[in-house]
Structure 1
Amino acid sequence: MSAREAEEFESFRPRLFSLAYRLLGSAAEAEDAVQDAYLRWHAADRAAIETPAAWLTRVVTNLCHNRMASARVRREAYVGPWLPEPVMTEGARLGPMESAEQREAVSMAMLLLLERLTPAERAAFVLREAFGHSHREIAAVLEISEAGAQQLYHRARERVAEGRPRFRATRAEGRAIAERFLRAAAVGDLRSLESLLAADVAAWADGGGKSTAARRVIVGAAKVARYLGSWVENGAAEIGVAIGEVNGQPALYGVAEGRLLGVMVLEITDGLVSTVRTVVNPDKLVHMSARLRSQGPSTVSR
């Protein structure tokens, strides 16, 4: 492979990662899929590839299709609630995040909704909604008829519509609420913490059986406030905590001795925290840990 061909692939890498992550909900598996696509690009007859972007999109989608089937089997045996792997979105890793719709598209809530779809439905939905492909282009990627692609997309859209998130907080509002949330949690002020929570707030925790985490969803403002308060009492107050944007939403992440210990993503609706999703499974923190290390220690504050 020539240097020019390698550079051409690298120009597509961010978009391919963004596609693979939306299909898989795992940054690690998305990286693997993109790397496998690179190997296929390296071995391919370049003269036979008319449109590199379309060819690579088809390759990555097919690679992810195979992974989605096996991932679903693994998740059936997963210990406790399963959550997508967190990805920082303050850069351009998953594409532009200027609008609420763009942030919604990569939110944990949306990725969990996409888990309801078949691999083909998910691919059709992501290619159409996130990347603006026509039904004809989707049909070429999935190697089906245009009518079949259209049917897949509409079926996926209907299945997602019922629980589709509608975030109303701006970035500035979300960060302000996250800052108040952190201050209240840090000092164990349960009354102030509870005032920031919606009455039916739900707290999910993904430890994957590898880190201590609640294995059932906790529902209700008072219960969630007490749960978060006990988390602080058990040592979280000694961890360096930073506020950032993860999966398009305000988030808190804790670091001790340079190691990322957990990520808490806050879903905000009508000025209140409606869902708290915490990932402490160390396997799911590898990608974000690498991103934080690349940014240096200034990203973490006590």
Structure 2
Amino acid sequence: MSDLLDVFDQHRRLLFSVAYQMLGSVADAEDAVQDAWLRWSAGDRDDVADPRAYLVRVVSRLALDRLDSARTRRESYVGPWLPEPLLTGRDTVAAGPAPTDPTAAAELGEQVSMALLVVLETLSPAERAVFVLREVFGLPVAETATALGRTESAVRQMAHRAREHVQARRPRFDTDPGAQRAVTERFLAACAGGDVEALLAALAPDAVLVSDGGGKARAALRPITGADKVARFAVGIACQGLALPGLRVEILDVNGASAVVAWAEGVPLMTMSLVVADGLVTQVLVVRNPDKLAGLATRSPG
């Protein structure tokens, strides 16, 4: 059994990344990886020549099955839906990626950025799976087709459609981690100080704020558009938070980029991720649904 676990652990990070990219949920991705382990440990592996390809195929199909049911649940979701935040710094959940090399962290940020995951939500389940395997992880067409049980011709067609769809909707963003953090720090300071003018200076004129409360926490039921409206809403969020007992706010790596993370008396309160382009904030993505913040409890400040 130890040999089986060793082989599985060699590919655990890849399997988690594939599942998370496809599902946008840390909890669902961890469940898919666990189910893949159960199949790996209990199945007949005599004809498995390539464990990596086999495990990617298993977790891809498990994630695809979960994605179909998840999309049905999201049809009745209250307000906008955002991906579940993933801590990607040194203090992350065990199952998730935790790169310490700056180059690896930058690559991971592109893979799991909140903005990209939001765009992937607009693909069909099959197109999303193909995009993740082909464009993100670089699997060959033949391997992708085998993993998803599709023909190579179908995979090529779906990959082309998905690539064009994502390119048309994917927001531009600054790739310099230092610049991203600096903007995040200024944005947080302006929010905490109630400085609307400073926020307006940090926001692009057509900035959009999306907040996900899932009907379980206060959040806007529709995206907020325009720098002035976004600035005033952000200040409102900050004012509400400052009144909470035991408030603690940090800037951490979330989905590969600096983001604001807040707790109240050790309970995760929210994450705020900024999409920055040309030094200005173009998107503010706020997750407040407590069901999506459970993983942050592992990093709760003492």
**Length-normalised TM-score, structure 2:** 0.92
Q: Which residue of 1 aligns with 2:142?
A: 136
SS of aligned partner of 2:275: strand
The answer as to whether partners of 1:253 and 1:264 remain within 8 angstroms in 2 is yes
- Is residue 243–residue 252 contact of structure 1 (8 Å, CA) maintained in 2? yes
Moved over 4 A (4+): 99-102
Distance in 2 (alpha carbons) for counterparts of 1:74 and 1:62: 19
User: Equivalent residue of 1:157, what SS?
Assistant: helix
CA distance in 2, matches of 1:110, 1:44: 35
Q: Secondary structure at the match of 1:260?
A: strand
Q: Give the counterpart letter for 1:7 in structure 2.
A: D
Residue 197 of structure 2 is aligned to residue 198 of structure 1: no
Which one-letter code corresponds to 2:58 in the other structure?
V
How do 1:214-293 and structure 2 match up within 5 A?
Answer: 214-236=220-242, 239-290=247-298, 292-293=299-300
How far residue 170 of structure 1 moved from its aligned partner, in angstroms, is 0.7
Q: How does 1:1-302 map to 2 (within 5 A)?
A: 2-91=1-90, 93-94=96-97, 98=103, 102-236=108-242, 239-290=247-298, 292-293=299-300, 297=302
The root-mean-square deviation of aligned C-alpha atoms, in Å, is 1.7
Deviation, structure 1 residue 101: 5.8
Distance in 2, Cα, partners of 1:288 & 1:234:
20
Residues 249 and 267, structure 1, Cα contact 8 Å, conserved in 2: no
Partner Cα distance (1:194, 1:230) in 2: 14
Residue 195 of structure 1 and its aligned partner are, at CA, apart by 0.9
For residues 58 and 165 of structure 1, what CA distance do their matches in structure 2 show? 30
Counterpart residue type for residue 289 of structure 1: A
Local SS of the residue matching 1:56: helix
Q: Kindly provide the CA deviation profile for residues 209-268 of structure 1, in whole angstroms up to 9, marking residues without a partner as x.
A: 001111121111111111111222223365211001211232101112111111011111
Percentage of matched positions with identical amino acids:
48
Tell me, in whole angstroms, the C-alpha distance in 2 between the residues paired with 1:80 and 1:215.
Answer: 4
TM-score by length of 1: 0.92
Deviation (angstroms), 1:7: 1.9
State the Cα deviation string for residues 89-119 of structure 1 (Å, max 9, x = none).
2248347673756423311221111112222
Q: CA deviation at 1:145?
A: 2.1
Counterpart contact for 1:198–1:273, Cα < 8 Å? yes
More displaced 10-residue stretch of structure 1: 201-210 or 211-220: 211-220
Given that residues 82 and 118 in structure 2 are in contact (C-alpha distance below 8 angstroms), is that contact kept between their aligned partners in structure 1? Answer: yes
Give the Cα–Cα distance (whole angstroms) in 2 for the partners of residues 267 and 198 of structure 1. Answer: 10
> Which ranges of structure 2 fall in alignment gaps of 5 or more residues?
none
Instruction: Flag the 1:205–1:88 CA change in 2: closer, same or farther, 3 A.
Output: same
Cα separation, 2, equivalents of 1:101 and 1:45:
35
Q: How many residues align?
A: 293
Contact 2:89 2:98 (8 Å CA) reproduced: no
